[in-house]
Amino acid sequence: MDALNNVIDHFPEVGEIIQIKPLTSGLINQTYLVQTKSVTDPDYILQCINHHIFTDVDMLQHNIEAVTSHIRQKLEEAHEDDIDRKVLRFVKADNGKTYYFDGEKYWRMSVFIPDSQTLDVVTPDSSYLVGLKFGEFEAMLADMTESLGETIPDFHNMEFRLKQLREAVQQDAVGRMEKVHTLVADIEKDAEEMCCAERLYREGKLPKRICHCDTKVSNMLFDEQGKVLCVIDLDTVMPSFVFSDFGDFLRSAANTAPEDEPDLSKIHFRFDIFQAFAKGYIESARSFLTPVEIELLPYAVTLFPYMQAVRFLADYINGDTYYQIKYAEHNYVRTLAQYTLYQETRRAVSEMKSYIASLIK
């Protein structure tokens, strides 16, 4: 722990430490709880930023600082109580930045929010709260004028993902095209339709917003009574279409099976989860959503399993160079599972449109 103590020494605000405990949650960044001695001092969260994924740490932290400052200002203007539990606060290092570079790794610290918890269980009730909170998150940032960068460039760009697939098909690096050529052809049939967001953006008909881009139940904190406190894990906050927050949540939450389910008969689209999430999201986001954005929310639900199928398939054709696999055909199985979910969501589009129309009325 001496190395961690040396890092923490570069954050002057932190008081005397009594314990540093690793936290198991979080797949990308190493995370620790730093407990301080004084009862009047807060505890802290120490994170080692994965700079292999987030290559521009300065931009990453600028995005987070700008977003949390804007939300804090909105909460103050609304005379909210307990603000320090409703928005994250990051601590400045002795270099004046909200991160410290030790020569090899990048570190940051935020104030720990006490008496809080994360949830992993997806139910209609929790999905409604997630929709409500992420819609509120976007709504509070809708008037933000400060420019943010893309922490992961082209993260949810469908045209870019199809370009990657086509390059993989052309190269056929490990000779897998013979097996998947029919699947590639099926995906290509819908390619133009699934790229409509990028086209509408170029035509000036669809805006980009400040979005979270990693919407899931576990990315918000709840108090002990089950009330939502704040949105966390802000590394992917960046300009995107609202479809990123709407569609990506439902890709995983409304799937009756894991994303790599080999038995395709088990994969179905949970309409009750869609209804709950959509209800919460539209309640809090309709104040800023344009008619085009509302009209295309069902498209967003189809977009994300389609995009993930494309990404898994490209990686399979390339020889499994990006996603970690547990067995030889894992990416192929993932592709089929996501493409099946995509087909399930397409069959529900008409019903989704009707439900959203009923919410707007």
Q: What integer is the mean pLDDT of 153-167?
A: 97
Residue pLDDT, tens place only, 104-140: 999 999 999 999 998 888 999 999 999 999 999 999 9
Q: Which pLDDT score, from 0 to 100, does residue 3 have?
A: 86
**Token representation of residue 237:** 């906050």
Q: Check residues 189 and 217 and name the one with the higher pLDDT.
A: 189
Question: Alpha helices of the chain — where are they, by DSSP H?
Answer: 2-8, 57-77, 124-141, 158-171, 177-189, 191-194, 196-202, 243-253, 271-285, 291-295, 297-318, 330-347, 349-360
Task: Give residue-wise pLDDT tens across range 231-241.
Answer: 999 999 999 99
In order of their start, the domains of the chain are 2-114 (3.30.200.20), 124-360 (3.90.1200.10)
Residue 243's closest CA among 278, 203, 271, 284?
278
pLDDT at residue 23, rounded to an integer: 83
- Residue 161 backbone phi and psi in degrees, to 5: -65, -35
- State how far the Cα of 266 lies from the Cα of 121, in Å rounded to an integer: 19
- The tokens describing 86, both together, are 């409703």
- Calculate mean pLDDT across residues 26-41: 80
- Residue 28 confidence (pLDDT): 53
Q: How many helices (H) and strands (E) does the chain have?
A: 13, 10
Q: Indicate the pTM of the whole model.
A: 0.91
The pLDDT assigned to 29 comes to: 59
- In this prediction, residue 41 has a pLDDT band, given cuts at 50, 70 and 90, of confident
Q: In what order do the strands lie in the sheet with 220-223?
A: 116-117, 220-223, 228-231
